[in-house]
Amino acid sequence: MAVSWEEVCSLRSRLYSFLGNCLLEPIQIDNEEIIRGQFWLEFPLDAANLQMQNGLNKLIRCTEELERLSASQAIQEIHFEYTDLFLGPGQPKAPPWESVYRTPEKLVFGGPTLQVRELFRQNGFEFKFKHRMPEDHMGLELIFLASAGDRLCEALTSDSEETSTKAVIESQISFIKDHPLTWIADFSKDASLHGSIGFYPGLIELIWGVLLWDLELLEEMNEETT
């Protein structure tokens, strides 16, 4: 059965929202299905590229090992890896901010932070972590893409001439190319080098694959849109 662009756009928004939130806060006990192997075996996308396949394989292996533990022990292992990679103490081993990877000083709140902040402002994007973290956090960049995906769904179903579907698509292509895809390879490398159980290294490589899949999808959609 053929799948419409509207259905694909809805899926990509849900994926970005889920993946972004997994990076913004550690997984809690009430979401323990995420640390079960079956959850990742049933991931709603077939692996479209090597990064997506590798990420899913790592997540499946990791979560199958975590299932040998009690739920509380498994969550504790997840929290330890999250803290060690993204928070510290000291310098995080896989800093989740674009500026760290794209500025010579390797500090947060650099030029990329300001660029992303301005894009958020232009698009009216508000988030619950405002004033608590730099805008160029990978999780926030993914949540922004989820929000932008919702706007694309609206554009595809709108009869209004004020809504330019092509412009919406092209803005999302530019954001993916200019921001998350410029640094996720290095982010993934750091996570893989320093991860303790492999959950977040797998998750980040999966995100990398989803971004590549989405970019190809958007470019195809753009070609078909007049």
Highest CATH level, class, for 5-224: mainly alpha
- What b-and-e string marks burial along 88-121, b requiring 16 or more CB atoms within 10 Å of the CB? eeeebbbbbbbbbbbbeeeebebebbebbbebbe
pLDDT of the chain, 226 residues: tens digit per residue: 356 878 888 899 999 999 999 999 999 888 889 999 999 999 999 999 999 999 999 999 999 999 999 999 999 999 999 999 999 888 899 999 999 999 988 888 899 999 999 999 998 888 776 667 899 999 999 999 998 877 787 777 765 554 578 888 999 999 999 999 999 999 999 999 999 999 999 999 999 999 999 999 999 988 887 6
Three-class DSSP category at 134 = coil
180, two tokens: 């998350």
Three-class DSSP category at 137 = strand
For residue 1, the model assigns a pLDDT of: 39
| Residue ranges of domains in the chain | 5-224
For residue 150, the model assigns a pLDDT of: 78
For residue 18, the model assigns a pLDDT of: 96
For residue 190, the model assigns a pLDDT of: 98
